[in-house]
């Protein structure tokens, strides 16, 4: 019964508060900030020599963050392998029709395999979506001082003005990308 409950999508009024409660629990228990992107810096600091000034800090104090990210990764693996919803992925018929004009017709996975696969990586469209997009996400995360989860969940709950600006920018950028730029990339 528990596996059946866990394999179904949780409603927003259950999942949202659970995510929201993560912030005060981290703050109360260990004075820690919620965020994922900072773990990349900790990994680099543990691997690179200390003569790079950006990595000169005691990254070992942040091992909890690396364990958190590891838990997110293994939680995803467990969810996909044990708790996956056996029902086919449901996509709005209007979206299916629109995506078909771009050659995206396979909805068997969470990410359309028509654009996210090794063969697509070596096409102009795949290069823009995976390489350029990945670079922009990494650059934007570093430039904004955190990722969407860090700013939107942690920063806003702490009433931080920069996080409000960053979250608004993420949303505006997402709307521009999805509605104005992405259709041109998908048409390549």
Mean pLDDT of the chain: 84
Could you give the CA distance from residue 34 to residue 29 in angstroms, rounded to a whole number? 12
Flag whether pLDDT at 184 surpasses 70: yes
The tens digit of pLDDT for each residue in 86-143 reads 777 888 999 999 889 888 888 887 788 888 888 888 888 888 888 998 888 888 887 8
Q: What is the pLDDT of residue 171?
A: 92
* CA atoms of 3 and 8, how far apart (whole Å): 9
Q: What confidence category does residue 58 fall into, taking pLDDT thresholds of 50, 70 and 90?
A: confident
Residue 52: Cβ-neighbour burial (10 angstroms; 0-12, 13-18, 19+): exposed
The two three-digit tokens of residue 154, written as one number? 């942690």
Q: For the residues 157-167, what does the mean pLDDT come to?
A: 88
Residue 49, pLDDT > 70, answer no
Judged against a pLDDT cut of 80, whether residue 50 lies above it is answered with no
pTM tops 0.85? no
């Amino acid at each position: 019964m528990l596996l059946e409950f866990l394999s179904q999508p949780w409603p927003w009024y259950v999942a949202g508060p659970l995510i929201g409660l993560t912030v005060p629990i981290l703050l109360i228990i260990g004075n820690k900030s919620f965020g994922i992107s900072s773990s990349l810096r900790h990994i680099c600091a543990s691997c690179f020599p200390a003569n790079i000034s950006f990595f000169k800090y005691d990254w070992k104090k942040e091992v909890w963050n690396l364990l958190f990210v590891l838990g997110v990764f293994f939680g995803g693996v467990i969810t996909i392998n044990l708790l996956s919803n056996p029902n086919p992925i449901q996509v709005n018929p209007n979206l299916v029709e629109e995506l078909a004009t771009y050659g995206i017709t396979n909805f068997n996975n969470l990410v359309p395999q028509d654009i996210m696969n090794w063969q697509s990586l070596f096409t102009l469209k795949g290069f823009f979506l995976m390489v350029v997009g990945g670079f922009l996400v990494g650059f934007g995360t570093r430039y904004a001082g955190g990722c969407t989860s860090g700013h939107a969940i942690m920063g806003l709950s702490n009433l931080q003005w920069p996080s409000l600006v960053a979250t608004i920018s993420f949303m505006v950028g997402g709307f521009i990308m999805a509605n104005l730029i992405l259709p041109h990339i998908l048409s390549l």
